[in-house]
Amino acid sequence: MLDGMGFTDDQPSHAQEALKQATELEASGDHESAAALQALASTPQSEWLTSGTPEEVRQQVHRVTERAKNTSLPPVLVAYHLPFRDCSQFSSGGSSSVAEYKLWIDGIAEGVQDRDAVVILEPDSLGLIPWYTTANGDLDSCRPPGANRATAAEERFEMLRYAVDTLKALPRTRVYLDGTHSSWLAVGDAAERLVKAGVQQADGFALNVSNYELTESQLKYGTWVSKCIYYGTTTYPGNFTGCGSQYYPATAGDISTWERTDAWYAEHVDDASNSPSRPGALAHFVIDTSRNGRGAWTPEQSYPDPQEWCNPPGRGLGRTPTADTGNELADAFLWIKIPGESDGECHRGLGAGATDPAWGIGHPPAGAWFPEQALDLIRNANPAFPD
């Protein structure tokens, strides 16, 4: 039984939604699910900053960082307001210009001031760069209407560098850029983009944000990206495409082959004459473990567009937030994406408004509470939640 359960206006919106659902389940007699949702609501999660004027975001950040002063953990803030974010897809929106975005970042900095904070900068911002030409000379697929083909990519890097410099000027703020994940960018591509975005001035990069990839594969991938950053800036400046990756010499879908890429880094970085032996030579990273307990989804049937990333069924909560990662480069496992909040109105390629055949129900818009998914994640948690 849950006694005295309630929520207040000063709690994060996701906690309010989880506790509201728990209250309804308690009233229906499902005490076990209600207790699990209450535990979910009390687990440290991030605060997403997605809109507002500079003054409005300043006030939001001030409230969050002030509230966190009474806890043992720094608040995790997710800045998500770049122009053409999500390549103008499900989570479209953001600032209307470079100048507007910089003022918005200034608002975050003014809200934090000298309080503790961890900032995850712009999920997907380096995986989906508008009108970006890769190191291999290929034009990326993100080409949103309204973005200037000649300037959009460099403006993206300019805004990220400004955010890093502005937030790192604060005395107690840690900043992590978007590093995608092991089923997305090749290691060298991720490393090159991170360097252009200012990773060497940041505290590192974040992996698997809002995704489902297993923690074990992200620890490997993050280590390789970190070593590739070193290789492409120190060992062989500019040669990021030469780095070993999850795609070569390993085979991406077969983790048993990833030791081949480990061997590549042992030869070209670890055993090199200028190997990164001094402390701080390698970039650190954090991993989003909020929904990766069961790994990525493989559909059991064919769909016009599987949208594997979009509210996949049968997924589970992963490791609860901790700085005890067992990996010297991994600073923390964090719940960055809010478990229970929808990825979007997924339709598996059947057309907008269609019922998702994988769930048999429609989905709420991106960022809205998805009660069925919240329970699905709890039931499939790995390790079990709550323990």
Structure tokens at 360: 């048999």
Residue 139 is assigned to a structural domain of this protein: yes
Backbone angles phi, psi at 313, to 5 degrees: -75, 160
- Tell me if 107 sits within 8 A of 54, measured CB to CB: yes
**Alpha-carbon gap, residue 175 to 252, rounded angstroms:** 29
Structure tokens at 12: 């994060």
- Tell me if 370 sits within 8 A of 324, measured CB to CB: no
87 Cβ partners below 8 Å, 6+ apart?
124, 128, 130, 142, 144
SS3 assignment for the chain: CCCCCCCCCCCCHHHHHHHHHHHHHHHHCCHHHHHHHHHHHHCCCCEEECCCCHHHHHHHHHHHHHHHCCCCCCCEEEECCCCCHHHHCCCCCCCCCHHHHHHHHHHHHHHHCCCCEEEEECCCCCCCCCCCECCCCCECCCCCCCCCCCCHHHHHHHHHHHHHHHHHCCCCEEEEEECCCCCCCCHHHHHHHHHHHCHHHCCEEEECCCCCCCHHHHHHHHHHHHHHHHHHHHHCCCCHHHCCECCCECECCEHHHCHHHHHHHHHHHHCCCCCCCCCCCCCEEEEECCCCCCCCCCCCCCCCCCCCCCCCCCCCCCCCCECCCCCCCEEEEECCCCCCECCCCCCCCCCCCCCECCCCECCCCCCCECHHHHHHHHHCCCCCCCC
Residue 268 is assigned to a structural domain of this protein: no
Question: pLDDT in tens for each of the 387 residues of the chain?
Answer: 222 323 333 556 788 999 999 999 999 999 999 999 999 999 999 999 999 999 999 999 999 999 998 888 899 999 999 999 989 777 778 999 999 999 999 999 999 999 999 999 999 999 999 999 998 888 999 999 999 999 999 999 999 999 999 999 999 999 999 999 999 999 999 999 999 999 999 999 999 999 999 999 999 999 999 999 999 999 999 999 999 999 999 999 899 999 999 999 999 998 766 677 655 689 999 999 999 999 999 998 999 999 999 999 999 999 999 999 999 999 999 999 999 999 999 999 998 888 999 999 999 998 899 999 999 999 999 999 998
Residue 258 is assigned to a structural domain of this protein: no
Residue 253 is assigned to a structural domain of this protein: no
**Alpha-carbon gap, residue 18 to 21, rounded angstroms:** 5
Q: Which residue has the tokens 């009108």?
A: 131
**Alpha-carbon gap, residue 73 to 335, rounded angstroms:** 13
**Alpha-carbon gap, residue 267 to 271, rounded angstroms:** 5
Q: What is the domain-level CATH number for residue 303? A: 3.20.20.40
Considering the entire predicted model, what is its pTM? 0.94
CA triple 249-180-299, angle to 5 deg: 80
Residue 311 is assigned to a structural domain of this protein: yes
Handedness of CA 44, 56, 113, 83 (dihedral sign): positive
Residue 288 is assigned to a structural domain of this protein: yes
Residue 141 is assigned to a structural domain of this protein: yes
pLDDT digits (tens, 9 = 90+) for 65-91: 999 988 888 999 999 999 999 897 777
**Domain membership of residue 87 as a residue range:** 43-231+281-379
**99, 130, 147 from 96: Cα distances, Å:** 8, 14, 10
How many domains is the chain built from? 1
- Tell me if 127 sits within 8 A of 209, measured CB to CB: no
**Alpha-carbon gap, residue 94 to 166, rounded angstroms:** 19
Residue 133 is assigned to a structural domain of this protein: yes
